[in-house]
Amino acid sequence: MDGRIAESSLGTKEAITEKRLTGVPAFKEWAIICASIERGGTSLIFRKGGIAEGAKGFQFKHRRFFLFPTYFHEQVKRTRLSGEYDITPRNDCVAVSLFAEVEFAIFLRDLRLIQGLSSLHVLQSTVLEERFHYDKPEGLYVAFLRAFHIFPVWELPCHASYGGCRSWVTLPGPPADLKKEPVLTDEEQNRRRSLCLAISETPHSNPVTYTVTEFAGTSQPPDPERD
């Protein structure tokens, strides 16, 4: 696939921080979706854009980032999950427990293809339809992730800069002792990647593929493979 990001080889329980940075990117996602990613139930992120994304609209600006959980009332009803999976908001802090890498990202213009990816996420089909038809051009950005548990869980005080209808926020430099471990086995990750590519690369899919700019700007997430 043109614009695909090659999978990186990441060992188990690697240190996330080898150098301290002034800030690192985090992607805002519903807390219930973050929990599904953490359980291994979700491998995709869908986006159309928020009202504060700027003149260029939504972009997957970074290849590697932390996942920042967001809350609203009865999120579970926007998913295919039962009520037992509903999330209780935390008011004392933001608990960051996931790190993600985008393996590839595409813009899909065929709603049928998006519906064919249902085994890789937990959202209601009506939610995706709403996002698909919202604003022009019709379609959705889809990112296939490699997700990692981070431990210990990184707890940050709530801050006004994390609010607003935008997808990206900048977090302070992470604790030096953070470790990461893949959520899925390599075998399962490969199976899901193949499934996603098989659906999105059908002859009549008319996708737009693009490369995610790695570490755009000055705020970069730490990478244990770099010095």
Mean pLDDT, residues 179-199: 96
Q: Is residue 226 in some structural domain?
A: no
Q: Model confidence at 131, in pLDDT bands (50, 70, 90)? A: very high
Q: Is residue 97 in some structural domain?
A: yes
User: Considering only CA atoms, which of 143, 147, 141, 125 is closest in space to residue 196?
Assistant: 143
Query: Mean pLDDT in the chain?
Result: 79
Q: Model confidence at 220, in pLDDT bands (50, 70, 90)? A: very low
Q: Is residue 98 in some structural domain?
A: yes
Q: What is the pLDDT of residues 138-184, one digit of tens each?
A: 999 899 999 999 999 999 998 888 888 888 899 999 999 999 999 99
Mean pLDDT, residues 115-129: 96
State CA 195 to chain mean position distance: 18
CA-CA distance, 187 to 78, in Å (whole number)? 30
Q: Is residue 5 in some structural domain?
A: no
The whole domain housing 162 covers 14-210
Q: Is residue 169 in some structural domain?
A: yes
End-to-end distance of the chain based on CA atoms, in angstroms? 29
Which residue, chain included where needed, has tokens 């990117």? 25
| pLDDT of res. 13 | 45
| pLDDT of res. 215 | 33
Q: Are 128 and 140 in contact (CB under 8 A)?
A: yes
138: β partners: none
- DSSP calls for 40-90: T---EEEE---TTS-TT------SEEEEEEE--TTGGGGBSS-GGG--PPP
Q: What is the pLDDT of residues 56-85, one digit of tens each?
A: 545 677 889 999 999 987 899 999 999 999
| pLDDT of res. 112 | 92
Q: Is residue 218 in some structural domain?
A: no
Q: What is the pLDDT of residues 10-54, one digit of tens each?
A: 334 444 443 334 689 999 999 999 999 999 999 999 988 543 444
In angstroms, what CA-CA distances link 65 with 98, 132, 174, 198, 203?
9, 24, 12, 26, 32
Q: Is residue 223 in some structural domain?
A: no
Q: Model confidence at 3, in pLDDT bands (50, 70, 90)? A: very low
Q: Is residue 217 in some structural domain?
A: no
| pLDDT of res. 200 | 80
Count up the domains in the chain and report the number: 1
CA-CA distance, 129 to 138, in Å (whole number)? 10
Show the DSSP H helices in the chain as ranges: 31-39, 111-115, 125-133, 186-200
| pLDDT of res. 84 | 93
CA-CA distance, 224 to 222, in Å (whole number)? 7
Residue 207 has pLDDT above 90, yes or no: no
User: Considering only CA atoms, which of 116, 136, 146, 137 is closest in space to residue 45?
Assistant: 146
Which residue, chain included where needed, has tokens 């301290």? 20
| pLDDT of res. 113 | 92
How many helices (H) does the chain have, and how many strands (E)?
Answer: 4, 9
